[in-house]
Amino acid sequence: MTKPSIVFLHGSGTNADIFRLQTRKLAALLQPHFTLLYPDAPYPSGPGPGVLPFFEGCDPFATWMDDSSAAAEDAYWSLEDDDSGAARLLESVERLVREEGGGGELVGVVGFSMGAKVGMEVVRRLEGREDAGGGGVKVVVCVCGTVPYRGGGDVAREEGGRRMLGRGVVRVQSVHLMGETDPWRAEGEKLVGYFGEEGRKVMWFKGGHHMPAEDAVNKQVARIMLAACGKV
């Protein structure tokens, strides 16, 4: 029997193999019901925050975009452009689902840090298709997410954020996991506003910018995802 797929998007300065280790508790709960897919980001990078020394020797590291400069808006967030990075990323995710997902429909996205905002845009694109009869994602999990338009200074960030919100919020059910001591928690809180209020859940865990370690938190997230996908 073909299982539906969930895509896991790692943070910046890490890779898919590392993210498999970081998400092992949640993955173990989802594995019986879904095909779990872990793509590598396309652009080489140095190690991200907290990657070293624990993951020394686990390179190469990668990132989804360079959002550290004013060039970021043109490089990735030209969202109205069908040739933008977001569109290309969606194509690569869909190809991964076809080739490694065994034909199962993409029903969920789990994204950490930069992977959360990238996942948000993938789902936004799919929802645009859903209006025309496509799509199928039921739930998005954002862990310690960062907001779009970090690059380009305060004015560019605010303008980019307004433009994105003007295109409408992401409508699918969402879970937002935020560490109480995450130095980027303000960005995670702001990212919540890019998702519709209906079906949106914010959960706090003890810790910083990392996947939650508590079994109870992972079990709760798994239950939400299973219910959203009709698996309970």
pLDDT of residue 74: 44
Residue 161 burial class via C-beta count within 10 angstroms: exposed 0-12, middle 13-18, buried 19 and up: middle
Residue 210 burial class via C-beta count within 10 angstroms: exposed 0-12, middle 13-18, buried 19 and up: middle
pLDDT of residue 164: 66
- Looking at the DSSP bridge assignments, the partners of residue 43 are 63
Pairing mode of beta strands 61-63, 106-112: unpaired
pLDDT of residue 220: 97
Q: Which two tokens stand for residue 89?
A: 């990323």
pLDDT of residue 73: 46
Give the H or E element holding residue 61: strand 61-63
- CATH entry 3.40.50.1820 includes domain 5-228: yes
pLDDT in tens, 14-47: 999 999 999 999 999 999 999 999 999 888 989 9
Q: Which residues of the chain have pLDDT under 70?
A: 66-87, 103, 130-135, 149-167
pLDDT of residue 128: 78
pLDDT of residue 135: 61
Domain extent listing, the chain: 5-228
pLDDT of residue 80: 44
pLDDT of residue 56: 85
